[in-house]
């Protein structure tokens, strides 16, 4: 299992967290999604490497911006 942590901007509430979790969990290969609202961190667990561009697209679909990998 591997994990990757990203920085997300624009999240301000629990609804934001839910939206990001929902979209990122639909990315192929993702097995877990954790979001730290206070720190703006998104941690993605997977069985293998997950394309960061797909994670970024999912975050954008939720209405937020992935600004980098932490």
pTM metric for this prediction? 0.94
d(CA 45, CA 50): 9
The pLDDT score that the predictor gives to residue 36 is: 97
- Taking 90 as the threshold, does the pLDDT of residue 9 lie above it? yes
Strands (E), the chain: 2-9, 30-36, 41-46, 65-69
The predicted-structure confidence for 24-62, as pLDDT tens digits, reads as follows 999 999 999 999 999 999 999 999 889 999 999 999 999
The pLDDT score that the predictor gives to residue 3 is: 95
The sheet that has 2-9: what strands, in order across it?
30-36, 41-46, 2-9, 65-69
The pLDDT score that the predictor gives to residue 1 is: 84
Residue 15: pLDDT band with limits 50, 70, 90: very high
């Amino acid at each position: 299992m591997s994990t990757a942590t990203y920085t997300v901007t624009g999240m301000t509430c629990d609804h934001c967290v839910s939206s990001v979790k929902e979209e990122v969990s639909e990315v192929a290969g993702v097995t877990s999604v954790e979001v730290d609202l206070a720190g703006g961190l998104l941690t993605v667990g997977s069985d293998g490497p997950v394309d960061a561009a797909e994670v970024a697209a999912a975050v954008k679909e939720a209405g937020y911006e992935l600004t980098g990998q932490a």
